[in-house]
């Protein structure tokens, strides 16, 4: 249970609504037990009075029945509204807390974690934690308070019967939850694990449709996904079986308690011998207590799944960021000069280093290209410059200061990154452009940039209010890439980093995008990594990277003349 403490502490932010929900839940139980008990006594007393031919005040108990009926309806409605509203607010707090804990984590912290698994932890696992309040805290607190009230009520008539009823309910609260927890422990864990496994495979299947179709593997992948789904459904069926068994055990225990109360109350209730209508009151009171016992099965049956979900979320939120930033702000870098000295880097559990004592100086305002085959370390170098990873040896300086001396906000403001993957949100066109800037930009400026990158057609109809869909599904690949360029044009950072910005584009689009980026880079420092040679003639320097080391450097003309490998590559791409 110690694992749940960090999550329970977040609940304090919604303590008022949670307390009101608890009080309404308790009021619902009081009204339900009061309604059934009073109705049983009223009917019995009416029958006895009719048989004895004596008068009776029918109006007071009838008014009490109506009062409890109305109170139960109103309190039940209020209970549902407040407890669910509190739950939604708690889930919002949990998601914000988990996201804030995730943001500082580096690539090293999240290495080995699939995107589908991470998504499942942030969505489904946090959703599972709603059991803490709805099915655990509120029912147990209501159970404890109602137990005290029942003892006071029944004890007013007969202390021995109060001890029997409340002792039986207390025994149920001790024995049954432990039994239900053991019954649901393994199925609950399997349910969480199978759900996570299914979501990961589903996301991979959806995102890999192009590759699966290309290699004629779509049918096999869909068959595998169906098998994983069937395992998940089997886990749900086992949990449903456990739920039915738990309900059956609960009904059996409650039935035994009713028989015991009937047996002992038949000999008299307090000083009333024979008990008369009070016998019906006691029996109906214990009958109505079943509503009090019902949450015991669901609360502890789901406890193992809740704890596993909490553990999976805590695996993210309890991590210490591998990369830390100073608290003192340096402000945006004065220029984009980069100085890389003896840089070495290896990925965790990798047998060979990716970069080996790499040294490179990029003067402020210059345009430099870094070329090499896939896997030679180009993207890794950009990840080190942006501090997604931390090198094991060597230093990187920006404008004469080490990257470690920059706070995160200043470092991000000092560079603009354009990659081959453009992240687009399910929002308006304006929101997706504004994402690149910390401050608001006028619609006129946004429209101007869109026209500049050749996306004037997107301004038709709804204009900047156009909804582009999840991941930019309303746009073509070229349009998505142009939005990434538009974001870069909106930023005024001294360092411009291009990571394969034209990968997968046709020659004409590639040249247009490079022309825009090179024009924007006037007066800025530009570092572009690529395995293509488009735009190399406009570069001040070109460096060839191989096995984590620079093997050749020079201008486009120099490399064509003195580096056969570069000349052959240039000729192949021209042909």
The pLDDT of 339-349, averaged and rounded, is 88
Q: What is the pLDDT of residue 301?
A: 66
More confident position, 230 or 535: 230
Q: Which two tokens stand for residue 54?
A: 């004596």
CB atoms inside a 10 Å sphere around CB 125: 26
| 8 A C-beta contact, residue 134 and residue 87 | yes
Question: For 399-548, where are the alpha helices, taking DSSP H only?
Answer: 408-413, 429-434, 443-452, 477-490, 507-520
Name which of 165, 451, 472 is nearest 293 in CA terms.
165
More confident position, 306 or 249: 249
Q: Say how far apart CA 62 and CA 8 lie, in whole Å.
A: 44
Q: Say how far apart CA 369 and CA 541 lie, in whole Å.
A: 6
Q: What is the pLDDT of residue 353?
A: 86
More confident position, 303 or 68: 68
| 8 A C-beta contact, residue 326 and residue 409 | no
Which of 35-44, 198-207, 348-357, 561-570 has the largest mean confidence?
A: 35-44
Q: Say how far apart CA 575 and CA 560 lie, in whole Å.
A: 16
Q: What is the pLDDT of residue 92?
A: 86
State if pTM tops 0.85.
no
Name which of 485, 508, 496, 519 is nearest 369 in CA terms.
496
Q: Say how far apart CA 441 and CA 455 lie, in whole Å.
A: 18
Q: Say how far apart CA 87 and CA 179 lie, in whole Å.
A: 27
| 8 A C-beta contact, residue 572 and residue 401 | no
Supply the angle between the helices 15-52 and 138-157 in degrees, to the nearest 10: 30
Please state the domain extents for the chain.
Answer: 2-317, 422-478
- Please compute, for residue 196, the number of CA atoms within 13 A of its CA located in the half-sphere on the CB side: 24
Q: Which two tokens stand for residue 338?
A: 């980069």
Q: How far apart are the first and last CA of the chain?
A: 67
Q: What is the pLDDT of residue 500?
A: 81
Strand-pair partners of 467: 428
Give residues with Cβ within 8 angstroms of 158, minimum separation 6.
Answer: 265, 268, 269, 270, 282
415-452: string of b/e by CB count within 10 Å (b at 16+)? bbbbbbebebeeebbbebbbebeeeeeeeeebbebbeb
Confidence of residue 71 (pLDDT cuts 50, 70, 90): very high
Q: What is the pLDDT of residue 28?
A: 92
Q: Which residue has the tokens 């929900």?
A: 21
Per-residue model confidence as pLDDT tens digits over 393-438: 889 999 889 999 999 889 988 999 888 778 888 888 888 888 877 7
The pLDDT of 515-543, averaged and rounded, is 86
Q: Which two tokens stand for residue 557?
A: 């003309």
Mean pLDDT rounded to a whole number for the chain: 84
Please name the helix (run of DSSP H) or strand (run of DSSP E) that holds residue 511, with its range, or none: helix 507-520
CATH T-level fold of 2-317: ABC transporter transmembrane region fold (1.20.1560)
Confidence of residue 575 (pLDDT cuts 50, 70, 90): very low
Residue 175 clears pLDDT 80, i.e. is over it: yes
Per-residue model confidence as pLDDT tens digits over 25-48: 999 999 999 999 888 888 888 888
Q: Which residue has the tokens 């559990």?
A: 349
């Amino acid at each position: 249970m110690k694992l749940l403490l960090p999550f329970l502490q977040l609940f304090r932010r919604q303590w008022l609504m949670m307390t009101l929900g608890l009080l309404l839940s308790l009021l619902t139980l009081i009204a339900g037990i009061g309604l059934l008990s009073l109705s049983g006594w009223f009917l019995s007393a009416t029958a006895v009075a009719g048989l004895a031919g004596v008068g009776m005040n029918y109006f007071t108990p009838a008014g009490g029945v109506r009062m409890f009926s109305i109170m139960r309806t109103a309190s039940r409605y209020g209970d549902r509204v407040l407890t669910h509203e509190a739950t939604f607010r708690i889930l919002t707090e949990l998601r914000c807390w988990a996201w804030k804990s995730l943001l500082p984590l580096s690539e090293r912290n999240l290495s080995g974690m699939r995107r589908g698994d991470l998504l499942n932890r942030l969505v489904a696992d946090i959703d599972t934690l709603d059991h803490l309040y709805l099915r655990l805290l509120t029912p147990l607190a209501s159970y404890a308070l109602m137990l005290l009230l029942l003892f006071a009520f029944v004890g007013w008539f007969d202390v021995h019967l109060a001890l029997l009823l409340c002792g039986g309910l207390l025994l149920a609260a001790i024995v049954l939850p432990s039994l239900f927890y053991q019954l649901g422990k393994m199925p609950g864990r399997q349910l969480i694990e199978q759900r996570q496994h299914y979501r990961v495979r589903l996301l991979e299947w959806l995102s890999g449709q192009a590759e699966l179709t290309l290699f004629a593997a779509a049918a096999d992948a869909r068959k595998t996904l169906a098998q994983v789904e069937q395992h998940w459904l089997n886990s749900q069926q086992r949990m449903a079986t456990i739920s039915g068994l738990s309900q059956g055990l609960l009904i059996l225990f409650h039935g035994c308690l009713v028989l015991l109360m009937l047996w002992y109350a038949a000999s008299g209730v307090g000083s009333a011998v024979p008990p008369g209508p009070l016998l019906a009151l006691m029996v109906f009171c214990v009958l109505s207590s079943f509503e009090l016992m019902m949450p015991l099965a669901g609360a502890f049956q789901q406890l193992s799944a809740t704890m596993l979900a909490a553990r999976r979320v805590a695996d993210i939120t309890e991590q210490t960021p591998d990369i830390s930033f100073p608290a003192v702000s340096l402000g945006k870098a004065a220029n984009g000069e980069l100085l890389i000295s003896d840089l070495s880097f290896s990925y965790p559990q990798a047998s060979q280093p990716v970069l080996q004592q790499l040294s490179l100086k990029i003067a402020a305002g210059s345009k430099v290209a870094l070329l090499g085959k896939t896997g030679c370390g180009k993207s890794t170098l950009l990840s080190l410059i942006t501090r997604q990873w931390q090198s094991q040896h060597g230093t990187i300086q920006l404008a004469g200061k080490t990257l470690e001396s920059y706070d995160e906000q200043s470092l991000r403001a000092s560079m603009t990154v354009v990659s081959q993957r453009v992240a687009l949100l399910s929002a308006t066109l304006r929101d997706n452009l504004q994402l690149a800037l910390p401050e608001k930009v006028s619609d006129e400026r946004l429209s101007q940039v869109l026209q500049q990158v050749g996306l004037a057609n997107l301004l038709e109809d709804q204009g900047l209010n156009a909804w582009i869909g999840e991941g930019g599904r309303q746009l073509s690949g070229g349009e998505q890439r142009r939005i990434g360029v538009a974001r870069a044009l909106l930023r005024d950072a001294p360092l411009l980093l291009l990571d394969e910005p034209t990968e997968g584009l046709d020659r004409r689009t590639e040249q247009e995008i490079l022309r825009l980026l090179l024009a924007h880079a006037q007066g800025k420092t530009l570092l572009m990594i690529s395995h293509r040679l488009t735009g190399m003639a406009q570069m001040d320097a070109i460096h060839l990277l191989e096995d984590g080391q620079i093997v050749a450097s020079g201008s486009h003309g120099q490399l064509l003349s003195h580096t056969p490998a570069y000349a052959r590559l240039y000729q192949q791409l021209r042909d």
